[in-house]
Amino acid sequence: GQNIDQPTEMTATEGAIVQINCTYQTSGFNGLFWYQQHAGEAPTFLSYNVLDGLEEKGRFSSFLSRSKGYSYLLLKELQMKDSASYLCAVRDGDYKLSFGAGTTVTVRA
Amino acid sequence: DGGITQSPKYLFRKEGQNVTLSCEQNLNHDAMYWYRQDPGQGLRLIYYSQIVNDFQKGDIAEGYSVSREKKESFPLTVTSAQKNPTAFYLCASSPGTSGSDTQYFGPGTRLTVL
């Protein structure tokens, strides 16, 4: 089976930076996705990594190391609206997505 | 507006009844998916379809059934054989199933079985 681990909860202050780590062990690898999900709503796509390195998109960046089975999502200049759950998902060798349980980020004033 | 619609947002059913959740997309996507989300757990794949008139079981297909008669529609039936049907159900679609094809999600249906 697939194994995707990420921390359950993180808390940070408005304007700060938070890094959400994700480690994975999957049968095959065809890309890693990060989604944001506000409570009771659908996940929305944030980023996609398939090659090693950093992908930057505004205040959000995502990093991938395939050899280490590791990714992180970096949220800069945190805003109250960033309070949400962040889901790490890996596309395996069969091109199916497997999701981690999600990291709930709470931004405090 | 292009997107994925699921209805209803909240659904209540009595134990032992079958219930069908709708999912429609007008994104012209080939692939569609059904996931279940429970508190403290990741999304788990129930069924997926890569093309019309074809679908495959996901990781937790027991007690569920689907059909894909039209490209735009992928309804999910939760049968009375599903032991713990109360959950948040999410439908998604993607252009295809290659590596970079992103899955986009509908707003979800919260099913409560009484």
DSSP string, B87-104: EEEEEEEES-SSTT---E
Q: How much is the CA Rg of chain B, to the nearest whole Å?
A: 13
Segment among A78-82, A93-97, A99-103, B17-21 with least mean pLDDT: A93-97
| pLDDT for B41 | 85
Residue A95 has pLDDT above 90, yes or no: no
- Write the Ramachandran bin of A30: left for phi over 0, alpha for psi from -120 to 50, otherwise beta: alpha
Cβ separation A99–B43 shorter than 8 A = yes
Mean pLDDT of A9-30: 96
| pLDDT for A1 | 63
Q: What is the mean pLDDT of each run of 10 residues along chain B (114 residues)?
A: 88 92 96 94 94 95 97 96 93 89 95 92
| pLDDT for A5 | 96
Phi and psi at B9, nearest 5°, equal -75, -40
Preferred mutation among A95, A98, A104 to probe B, highest tally of B CBs within 10 A: A95
Phi and psi at B91, nearest 5°, equal -105, 145
Strands A53-57 and A60-65: antiparallel
Question: What are A's interface residues with B at a Cβ cutoff of 8 A?
Answer: 4, 8, 30-31, 33, 40-45, 48, 50, 87, 89, 91, 95-102
- Write the Ramachandran bin of A77: left for phi over 0, alpha for psi from -120 to 50, otherwise beta: left
Residue A103 has pLDDT above 80, yes or no: yes
Residue A35 has pLDDT above 80, yes or no: yes
Lookup: tokens for A3: 């194994």
Taking the C-alpha atoms of residue B16 and residue A102, their distance in angstroms, rounded to an integer, is 32
Cβ separation B42–A102 shorter than 8 A = yes
